[in-house]
Amino acid sequence: MNKKNNSYQQGKLSTINITTLAVVLAFRIIFAFIPAFSYGQYVEFGVGFIGAALTGALFGPWYAMIVGVAADLITTSMKGYQFFIGFTFSAALGGFIYGLMLWRKDTTWLRVFITVLLVTLIVNLGFNSLWIRIMYGQAWLVFMPARIIKNAISLVLNTVVLKLLLSHPTTQRLINKYRF
């Protein structure tokens, strides 16, 4: 094993790795400002998952968690949203799941689907719905039906978008560069 790989495994990053993490973080922040299609107060279709998935595929679960937290804190402050630690936890957990499922693994249709399914069920429908319930005090029946429908649609769309992105030759070269 060469020195670069050994230092990475010990938690040290090269300058190029830190730069790439910063670029991915910047993309995550930019994605947060791309207008999302909203349906009501509790349902939103966006592209933020792309940055989380790409970070996980490139750097693994731990760095994807860190970038998720950083992206959430920065975008929350830049957009002037009310800070809620639950959504920061969700951003970290989503990055962790993407990293756990996609880092150093072949991105087959089944793997991408299962990954998106886990994020959808655990983070989006699970924790994020709980955070909405806590923050707004709405009854589950008020917002869950629309969220379930939205997430069922997003499951399919996000799987297709993510699989196409991860299969693109440019993305594959970048992923293979960081696959030690």
pLDDT digits (tens, 9 = 90+) for 137-146: 888 888 899 8
Q: How far apart are CA 6 and CA 62, in angstroms?
A: 17
Within the chain, strands assigned E span 37-39, 43-45
Q: How far is CA 94 from CA 19, 36, 66, 147, 179, in A?
A: 22, 19, 11, 17, 21
Lowest mean pLDDT among 1-15, 34-48, 100-114, 161-175: 1-15
Residue 15 has pLDDT above 80, yes or no: yes
Query: Judging by beta carbons within 10 Å of its beta carbon (0-12, 13-18, 19+), is residue 91 exposed, middle or buried?
Result: buried
Rounded CA-CA distance 67/124 in Å is 18
Average pLDDT of every residue of the chain: 87
Overall average pLDDT of the 131-159 stretch: 90
Tell me how far apart the alpha carbons of residues 161 and 132 are, in angstroms, rounded to a whole number.
26
Please determine, for residue 104, whether its predicted confidence score (pLDDT) is greater than 50: yes
Is the pLDDT reported for residue 168 higher than 80?
yes
Per-residue DSSP letter, 105: S
| Each residue's pLDDT tens digit, 77-98 | 999 888 999 999 999 999 999 9
The 10s digit of each residue's pLDDT in 23-77 is 999 999 998 888 777 666 555 678 889 999 999 999 999 999 999 999 999 999 9
3-state secondary structure of 104: coil
Q: Residue 23 has what pLDDT?
A: 92
Distance CA 47, CA 32 (A): 8
The Cα 23–Cα 2 span in angstroms is 25
